[in-house]
Amino acid sequence: MAATDGKFRHESLQDRKSIKALLEAITKGIGKGELTLSEGDDCLTLPLDQLMTLRVKADRSDGTCRVDLRISWSERQTDLAERPAPTVK
């Protein structure tokens, strides 16, 4: 299957239980090696690699709390790993 580029964005007000369920679904997708995100007709499927970068940031300021999670990876990582190391002379 050919990969298609695209973007998915969603923002809404949710309670803790709903957010927990969403994070569990993301965890399940990571476990099976593929994430599919959808809302209405908007759908994006992301194949996952073995190595991913995880970034966690948190802050609290003036009564506002925030946690940012970012998981990123390259679909070409396998191709890059198979390339020989450069030679330096």
Per-residue pLDDT of the chain (89 residues; tens, 9 = 90+): 445 788 999 999 999 999 999 999 999 999 999 999 999 888 999 999 888 999 999 999 999 999 999 999 988 755 556 667 777 77
38 in a structural domain: yes
- Whether the CB-CB separation of 71 and 53 falls below 8 Å is answered with yes
Is residue 3 assigned to a domain? Answer: no
pLDDT of the residue at 80 = 58
Report strand pairing: 53-61 vs 64-72. Answer: antiparallel
Structural domain including 56 reads 16-81
Q: How many domains does the chain have?
A: 1
Q: CA separation (Å) from 86 to 7, 83, 89?
A: 34, 9, 10
pLDDT at residue 36 in the model: 94
The answer to the question of residue 11 being in a domain is no
Q: What sign does the CA torsion over 31, 36, 39, 40 have?
A: negative
Residue 2 counted as domain residue: no
Which contacts (CB < 8 Å, 24+ apart) does range 32-37 have?
A: 37/8, 37/10
